[in-house]
Amino acid sequence: MPEFVNPIEILNQIGLKANMIAADFGSGSGGWTIPLARKLEDGQVFAVDIQEEPLSVLESRAKLQGISNIQKIIANVEEKIPGISDLTCDLVLVTDLLFQIEDKKGVFEEAKRILKPGGKILVVEWIPGVSLGPKGGAPSKEEVKEITKNLGFRLEKEFKAGDYHFGFVFVKP
């Protein structure tokens, strides 16, 4: 049976601390945001998406589950995100997002701006060409590594994220 991405399992492997501040780029309705907010019970999660509707769904889901450490932000993650200052975050999630983005470098530049030194980016993305994945747009592992390397990030970890995704953890110097 095919294995899909398991956000909780992946988040358990990246050394989260309860008081971290994180941003979930392209959070949608919270498939990653909710489990992340639970782990960061004394911290904060910025849920950033360009669409209002999924953020409203996320807000309702969080309220129903008694989660109060999520701040929604409607913004384009390829540009400067209003409401998140420079050097604020310990972690940025870029999950199932890059295949939808034109300016992939812009996403990583914004992550770099808001990350503290030593902060991490978790990237989980569709493997290009997989049967259940998007029809085009998914970057290769090499493309993601090249963009992040050119921006000064260091690859900390590479992993398989189910049968249809790859994963990376990058660290800001």
> How long, in residues, is the chain?
173
160: left (phi over 0), alpha (psi -120 to 50) or beta: beta
Q: What is the pLDDT along the chain (173 residues), one digit of tens a residue?
A: 678 899 999 999 999 999 999 999 999 999 999 999 999 999 999 999 999 999 999 999 999 999 999 999 999 999 999 999 999 999 999 999 999 999 999 999 999 999 999 999 999 999 998 888 888 889 999 999 999 999 999 999 999 999 999 999 999 99
Fold of 7-171: Rossmann fold (3.40.50)
Residue 20 has which token pair?
A: 């971290």
Q: Which residues contact 92 (CB under 8 A, 6 or more apart)?
A: 22, 23, 24, 25, 111, 114, 115, 119, 120, 121, 122
The owner of tokens 């701040």 is: 71
pLDDT of residue 3: 83
The alpha carbon of 38 is separated from its chain's Cα centroid by a whole number of angstroms, namely: 15
pLDDT of residue 2: 75
What is the amino acid identity at position 5? V
Rounded to two decimals, what is the model's pTM? 0.96
Domain regions of the chain by residue span: 7-171
Residue 154 has which token pair?
A: 């260091």
The alpha carbon of 169 is separated from its chain's Cα centroid by a whole number of angstroms, namely: 10
